[in-house]
């Protein structure tokens, strides 16, 4: 494909993009503003890195495809596997409905890998940095893109601590610099205009604390408690490397969880299940709590631009940044990397158009799932059209059915893990089960009312 590719940003998305590019370019340079740590450490360029992250089943599979054996390495070094073969591994509540089923394993087991974000990123960074054709240029800022002959031909960078600029000629530049990406401004200055930006103001606030839990062990490896409209609060609580647990409490629509530990525990008592609250009461904090605010989701629609320069692509949060509550970011980044690999395999003709169209598929699925859930929260300011309200009603019925119908539950989890498309939840076999469960519930209520009336007459 060419001699040199440059990746701007050493996030998970940037690392996986660099890995893919080594199959198609003689050299790959990875530019990162931070001084990258040698091991498992938090870094400034990942401000949300201390909070709960998920490697969904689809992301796990894609990661192992790109870096064979990486999942086994994670487990060997302390990551925890949660498998749907073991229903007690998961405790999930959404919209006030408990999805937990202790006696019915899934027909097609799914695995999630539980670890902190720095732990996962350190393992991926070590594997990618060890590739012979990869050069890591950390501690450098992106100054500007360089255009020549109607295409992006390179990038100018400079040391973050100060010093002379350096020109990196490139056959391809991939921007993975996150939500603050300057590519829209670069494109506008070059006469291409800016991409349309879609988004929803959600005003999410996280508070996270790493803890150790005294025996007995909690009854699940992973608790996911979704926000209910009346509380606008939720939490993720899971075991991770080194026998520790990570608690992230979440407030939506302007609700802000506290940062002091006793207050964090009290914050969960009104809406979290008793086993989770009991575990928190036995927990001992490790280090200091952290808080992170996320104002709005945003999708820069490069796939809709009429003109876009050859030699440039955009990935990761620089392309689409999701509500972090749903843990989709790392998995979507891995799926985007697979899309990049497949597009490069067909040559460089119309590469940007083909890549943005391919990336829009996993991005679009994750976007609609997150947006649909966001719109159930009253504090989220966004129009709710008739179709949105009908979809919200059906989703609530579907989630309510998950607790009693293993088939619906498995279908729902496969969709939320970005394995099956959302249309799977509207298939006739699922519709019959979901709507049938509502009729059964209505008949049960009617029967109970009739019995109470008869007792009253007696």
| CATH number of the domain enclosing 250 | 3.30.70.2450
> Which contacts of 281-288 are long-range, i.e. CB under 8 A and separated by 24 or more positions?
282/213, 282/214, 282/215, 283/211, 283/212, 283/213, 283/214, 283/245, 283/247, 284/211, 284/212, 284/213, 284/214, 285/209, 285/210, 285/211, 285/261, 286/209, 286/210, 286/211, 286/212, 286/244, 287/210
Whether 163 maps to a domain, the answer reads yes
Decide if 86 is inside a domain: no
Q: Token pair of 408, please? A: 């619906």
**Tokens 């605010």 label which residue?**
293
Q: Indicate whether 243 belongs to any domain.
A: yes
Residues 58 and 156 in one domain: yes
Based on the domain organization, do 453 and 404 belong to the same domain? yes
Q: Strand 312-314 to strand 90-94: parallel, antiparallel, or no bridges (unpaired)?
A: unpaired
Q: What angle is formed at CA 384 by the lines to CA 381 and CA 390, rounded to 5 degrees?
A: 145
- Tell me, yes or no, whether 194 and 207 share the same domain: no
Same domain? For 39 and 152 the reply is yes
- The residue segments making up the domain with residue 265 are 200-296
Per-residue confidence (pLDDT) for residue 253, from 0 to 100: 76
Looking at the fold, whether 175 and 232 belong to one and the same domain comes out as no
Shared-domain flag, residues 307 and 182: yes
Phi, psi of 276 (to 5 degrees): -70, -45
How far is residue 253's CA from residue 206's CA, in Å, rounded to a whole number? 12
Res 382: pLDDT: 61
The two tokens of residue 404 are: 């009693």
CATH number where 142 lies: 3.50.50.60
φ/ψ region of 311 (left if φ > 0, alpha if ψ in -120 to 50, else beta) reads left
Cβ atoms of 5 and 172 closer than 8 Å: yes
Q: Is 105 within the bounds of a domain?
A: no
Tell me the torsion sign for CA atoms 225, 51, 263, 278.
Answer: positive
> Whole-prediction pTM value?
0.91
Residue 366 contacts residue 322 (beta carbons within 8 Å): yes
Residue 89 in domain? no
In a shared domain, residues 185 and 322:
yes
Residue where one domain finishes, among candidates 342, 370, 398: 370
Partners of 244 in beta bridges? 240
Cα–Cα dist 13/331, whole Å: 9
Question: Does some domain include residue 104?
Answer: no
- Tell me how far apart the alpha carbons of residues 431 and 453 are, in angstroms, rounded to a whole number: 33
137 shares a domain with 39: yes
Paired sense of beta strands 2-8 and 111-114, if any: unpaired
Tell me whether residue 87 is in a domain.
no
Whether the upstream peptide bond of residue 216 has omega within 30° of 0, thus cis, is yes
Express each pLDDT in 5-42 by its tens digit. 999 999 999 999 999 999 999 999 999 999 999 999 99
Q: Is residue 402 assigned to a domain? A: yes
Residue 356 and residue 217 share a domain: no
DSSP string, 15-79: HHHHHHHTTTEEEEEEEESS---SSS---TT-TTTTS---B-HHHHHHHHHHSTTHHHHHHHTT-
- Choose one of 311, 341, 370: the last residue of a domain: 370
How many Å apart are CA 153 and CA 173, to the nearest integer?
8
- Given a cut of 50, the residues of the chain with pLDDT beneath it are 441-456
Residues 309 and 448 in one domain: no
Same domain? 351 vs 409: no
Structure tokens at 134: 């990869």
Say if residue 190 is in the same domain as residue 163.
yes
Domain C-terminal end among 264, 296, 328: 296
| The total number of structural domains that make up the chain | 3
């Amino acid at each position: 494909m060419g001699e040199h590719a440059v990746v701007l940003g050493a996030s998970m998305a940037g690392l996986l993009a660099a890995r893919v590019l080594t199959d198609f370019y003689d050299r790959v340079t990875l530019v990162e503003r931070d001084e990258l740590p040698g091991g498992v450490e938090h870094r400034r360029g990942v401000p949300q890195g201390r909070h709960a992250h998920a490697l969904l089943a689809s992301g796990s599979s894609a990661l192992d495809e790109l870096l064979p054996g990486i999942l086994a390495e994670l487990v060997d070094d302390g990551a925890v596997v949660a498998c749907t073969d073991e229903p007690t591994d998961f405790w999930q509540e959404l919209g006030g409905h408990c999805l937990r089923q202790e006696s019915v394993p899934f027909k097609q087991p799914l695995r999630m890998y539980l670890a902190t974000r720095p732990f996962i990123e350190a393992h991926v960074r070590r594997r990618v940095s060890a590739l012979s054709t990869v050069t890591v240029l950390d501690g450098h800022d992106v100054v500007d893109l360089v255009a020549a002959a109607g295409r992006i031909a390179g990038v100018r960078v400079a040391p973050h601590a100060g010093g002379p600029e350096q020109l990196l000629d490139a056959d391809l530049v991939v921007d993975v610099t996150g939500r603050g990406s300057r590519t829209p401004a670069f494109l506008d200055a070059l006469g291409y205009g800016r991409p349309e930006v879609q988004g929803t103001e959600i005003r999410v606030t996280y508070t996270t604390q790493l803890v150790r839990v005294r025996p007995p062990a909690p009854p699940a490896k992973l608790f996911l408690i979704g926000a209910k409209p009346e509380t606008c609060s939720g939490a993720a609580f899971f075991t991770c490397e080194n026998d520790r647990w990570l608690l992230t409490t979440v407030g939506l629509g302007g609700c802000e969880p506290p940062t002091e530990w006793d207050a964090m525990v009290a914050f969960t008592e009104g809406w979290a299940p008793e086993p989770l609250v009991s575990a928190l009461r036995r927990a001992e904090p490790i280090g200091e709590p952290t808080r992170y605010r996320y104002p709005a989701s945003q999708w820069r629609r490069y796939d809709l631009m009429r003109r876009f320069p050859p030699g440039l692509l955009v990935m990761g949060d620089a392309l689409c940044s999701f509500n972090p509550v749903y843990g989709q970011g790392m998995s979507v980044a891995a799926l985007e990397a697979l899309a990049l690999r497949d597009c490069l395999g067909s040559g460089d003709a119309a590469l940007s158009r083909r890549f943005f169209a391919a990336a829009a598929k996993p991005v679009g699925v994750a976007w609609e799932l997150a947006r649909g859930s966001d719109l159930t929260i009253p504090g989220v300011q966004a129009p709710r059209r008739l179709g949105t309200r009908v979809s919200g009603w059906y989703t609530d019925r579907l989630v309510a059915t998950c607790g009693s119908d293993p088939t619906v539950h498995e279908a729902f989890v496969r969709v939320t893990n970005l394995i099956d498309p959302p249309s799977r939840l509207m298939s006739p076999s699922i519709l019959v089960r979901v709507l049938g469960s509502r009729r059964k519930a209505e008949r049960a209520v009617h029967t109970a009312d009739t019995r109470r009336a008869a007792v009253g007459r007696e």
